[in-house]
Chain A
Amino acid sequence: MPLLSHIKSLLGLVLLATLLVGCDAGVPEPNLAPAKAKAAQCVEPTADMRKNHMVYLDVHRDKTVIEGIRTNKHSLNECINCHVVPTREDGSAVHYTDEKKDHFCASCHTYVGVKLDCFQCHADRPQIVENINYQHKLSSNTYHLSAQSVQPDMNDLLWLSQSQTQGATQ
C-alpha cells in the first residue's frame, strides 16, 4: 500500500509538473473562496505554502503531539478553520471525501493524486458549536477556533467539605 501510494504520488507529481509546464490553464484552482473571505493571505507566502505545506504540517504535528507545543500558526485545525466552511449554501456538510471535491484540501489533492489520511482522524470542517452545555464554555459562538483558558472552578476546591459518601448512598 505505501508503495502504491508513493507511485501514485509520483505519478501525481509528474502529472502536475507536466501540466504546470505545459498548459497552466488546465490546472483547476483550489477552492480558496472560504479563506479569502476571512483573510488576505495564508500563514506563509502563498507560493511557499503551495510547495511546502506538508513540511509545516509534519513538523508541527510532532511538536504538538510529542512536545505539547500548541501554537496556532501551522496548526491543522487552523488551516481547516480558515480554509473550509462547515456547510455549503444548500446546508449540506462539506467533507474531504465528498464527490464534489470542493473541500479545500480535496480540491487540490484529488487533482494531484496524493491521498491524505489526515481526515480519517482530524475534523475536516470547523466544528459548529452545538451548544455544548457542559462545564467549559467556548467564547466563540461560531467556530471552535481555539479553546479558551478557563480558570479552574472554585467548586473543585471544596472536594473535602462534602459529607456524603458513596458507601452510604449505595
Chain B
Amino acid sequence: MSQINAYRRKFMATLGGVAVGGLASSVILRTVQAGDVPAKPADQPVSNQVRWGMLIDVNRLTDGGASMVEACKREHGWGNDPKARPEQQAQWMRTVKVTDKLTKYSFTLPVMCQHCEEPPCVDVCPTGASMKRADGIVQVNKHICIGCRYCMMACPYKARSFVHESLTDQRPHSPRGIGTVESCNLCVHRVDQGQLPACVEAAPNAVIFGDLNDPNSRISQAMKALGGSQIRADLSLNTGVRYLGL
C-alpha cells in the first residue's frame, strides 16, 4: 500500500518477533483449557456477549490464502455451477493480489465477507433476509431472500454472489439454491458446534479465529499486540475480519 503502510509492515514484523515469546506461551496455555470456539449447547440461542472475528496474517499465508479458498469450496460445495458463465459463478471467497501502484510492492490476501458491525447489506435488504446474528455473523436468511441483489450492490467487498442456476446435491449442512444471494457465513454450522470455520482450519499458522468481545481470547490478545487492519477502513464498518500485513 502506501509507503507508510509498507514501513508499518516492517515495524510490525519486528514487533511481532518480539512479542512472540510472551504472547504465544500464554496463548497456548489458555487455549488448551478453553478453545477458541467454546461449544454452545445445541438448544441455546447464540448470544450477543460474543462477537466472532478472524485475524489473518497475510505474511504468514504462504499461498496467499488459496488453501483457505479451497477449504471453503469443499465445505460449502460452491464452485460447481456448470451452466453459469465465469462471471456468474459464485465465489464465497477469493484471493486478491494487490500491487501498490507506486512501490510495486505486492501481496496476496483472501477476501470474503468481512462481517461488519454495521453491515451495509443488512441495512439495504428489503425483507431483512440479509441479517447479522447476535454473535456478529453476517449471513443471508435464504428462506426470505427474494433475490433482488440489492445487498450485492451495497457490499463494498464484493463478498456476495447470486446463484444463477439450479443446483443439486448440495452439502446438507450448507443449503444453497437458485435465485438467492449467498456469502461467507463464517461456517455458522461449525461455529455453533464448537468447531473452527473450514478456512481457519486450512491455514492454522496464519489465521486466528475467536471472540473479539473477550479481552482474554487469543484473537483479542493478538490484535492488542499486533493490530489488525480493515479493508476500506474509511467506511467505518468495523469489520470482524481483520488483517495483519496490509
Binding site for B on A (CB under 8 A): 61-63, 65-72, 77, 80-81, 93, 95, 117, 120-127, 132, 134-136, 144, 147, 149-153, 155-162, 164-167, 169-170
Contact = CB atoms under 8 A, between A and B. Distances in A.
B177 A152 contact: no
Contacts of B168: 95, 124
B194 interface: yes
Interface of B: 9, 13, 16, 19-20, 23-24, 27-28, 31, 35-37, 39-40, 42-46, 57-62, 64, 71, 74, 105-108, 131, 133-135, 139, 141-143, 166-173, 175-180, 188-190, 192-196, 198, 200-202, 204-208, 218, 222, 245
Contacts of B207: 156, 159
Contact of A121 (B16, B71, B142): B142
Contact of A149 (B141, B170, B195): B195
B208 A68 contact: no
B187 to A, nearest CB: 10
B175 to A, nearest CB: 4
A157 B173 CA distance: 27
Contact of B74 (A121, A134, A149): A134
A71 B193 CA distance: 11
Nearest to A67: B45
B59 A165 contact: yes
A135 B198 contact: yes
Interface of A is mostly: loop
B53 to A, nearest CB: 15
A166 B201 contact: no
In this complex, which of B19, B139, B178, B205 has the most chain A Cβ atoms within 10 angstroms of its Cβ?
A: B205
Nearest to B59: A165
A156 B200 contact: yes
A147 B195 contact: yes
Nearest to B169: A123
A134 B193 CA distance: 18
Given A136-B195, A153-B204, A122 B131 contact: no
16 contacts: A62-B143, A65-B142, A67-B134, A95-B168, A121-B177, A122-B170, A122-B177, A147-B173, A149-B194, A155-B204, A157-B28, A157-B204, A160-B20, A162-B205, A167-B245, A169-B62
